[in-house]
Structure 1
Amino acid sequence: MMAKLSADILDRMDIFILEIEELQIPTPLLWEYIWCLSLVMSMIGLPAIKKNNIRQLRHYIYGIGILGFGPLLYCILYYCPDVWRYLTRDDEDEDSSAEVEIELWQGYPYGLLWYAFVLLASQVHFFQLHFSYNLLKAWRMRGTLRKPE
């Protein structure tokens, strides 16, 4: 994602690199920047693991849920019409002028590329939530075992 956003970031900083400009990377949408904030959540999660901090780990879980899965869900909904058009198009009527244009990048349908990204990113976020939730449960159990009776 950072590689995709690098073209826009460099443009905003008035830095021109010919090799990046030749790729003709489409302009990023707001959800892509919001999704990158889920990487910042790792800065909350890793110290929480070191310190066994339940509160910070809970913030990490909520952050991944909102900043990780939220933009991915928006991406699915945003590109759904393009992907549906691409999957249901008739190859014989490819030359007809009535067909709506499908956005392509480097010859590949842009929506399907995003769906592949969503598949991989959602797996990573799912495992983040799964393991952090199990860790949270283990820490809570340890805390209940330590209480004097």
Structure 2
Amino acid sequence: MASKYGSRPTGTDGSDFWHRESVAYRHKMSSINKARLKMDLVLQIVLCVLMTVRILPALVSLVGVGPVKQLRKWDLPAPRPWEYMWSVSIIAAVLGLRSIPKNEGFLLKQYMIGTVVFGLLPIIYGIVDQIDDLYAYLNEKRWNAQIFGYPAVIIWFMFLTAAIQLHGFGLYFSLQLLKSWKVNRTDKKLR
């Protein structure tokens, strides 16, 4: 590679970089955790859209509009209360996405509160609600409802497992971001 000032001095192999400037560790971690949180939030939104499609027949019949007969052909079991509550967590995910570009700590804290209230608490309620059905399925091979030919309890627990992992990772990444953004704010106040 050509150099503006000529060739590299003899006797050096390029490992003498310690005197050069580098990006601060907290900025690297902020960038990495922003990308991770963004991916996590996109997956949460996809999961919320899937849940909304799943409870759509009940929502349409509740409101009383639209082609209810076509939606009833899906043959889905009635939604559980925790499914309605968990669907509201999409608002928290949108707040989290909005906080990322400008390092807005207030919006990120709102995302964290919304994730705990509308994400984790309904999931815990869903696990408690479904544990008897899971026990009956595992021990007696019987189930109450089916979703697309599969036992609903298995699909619900697969969903609950994925959702609790997404929310847990999202909270972890947002805590790391708040730590790195807090350092940045104190640096600006000192200047």
Give the Cα–Cα distance (whole angstroms) in 2 for the partners of residues 45 and 83 of structure 1: 33
Q: Given the alignment of the two structures, is residue 3 of structure 1 paired with residue 45 of structure 2, yes or no?
A: no
Does the residue aligned with 1:147 lie in a helix, a strand or coil? helix
Shift of 1:18: 4.5
Shift of 1:36: 0.8
Give the stretch that moved more between structures: 45-54 or 118-127. Answer: 45-54
Q: Given the alignment of the two structures, is residue 26 of structure 1 paired with residue 68 of structure 2, yes or no?
A: no
Q: Given the alignment of the two structures, is residue 102 of structure 1 paired with residue 143 of structure 2, yes or no?
A: yes
Give the Cα–Cα distance (whole angstroms) in 1 for the partners of residues 169 and 136 of structure 2: 32
Give identity over the alignment, percent. 29
In structure 1, the gaps of 5 or more residues are 92-100
Alignment match, 2:65: 14
TM-score by length of 1: 0.83
Query: Paired residue for 1:44, among 68, 83, 95?
Result: 95
Shift of 1:52: 1.9
Higher relative contact order (CA 8 A, sep 6+): 2
- Structure number with bigger Rg: 2
Alignment match, 2:124: 73
Alignment match, 1:97: none
In structure 2, the gaps of 5 or more residues are 1-50
Alignment match, 2:110: 59
- Contact 2:82/2:126 (<8 A) preserved: yes
TM-score by length of 2: 0.66
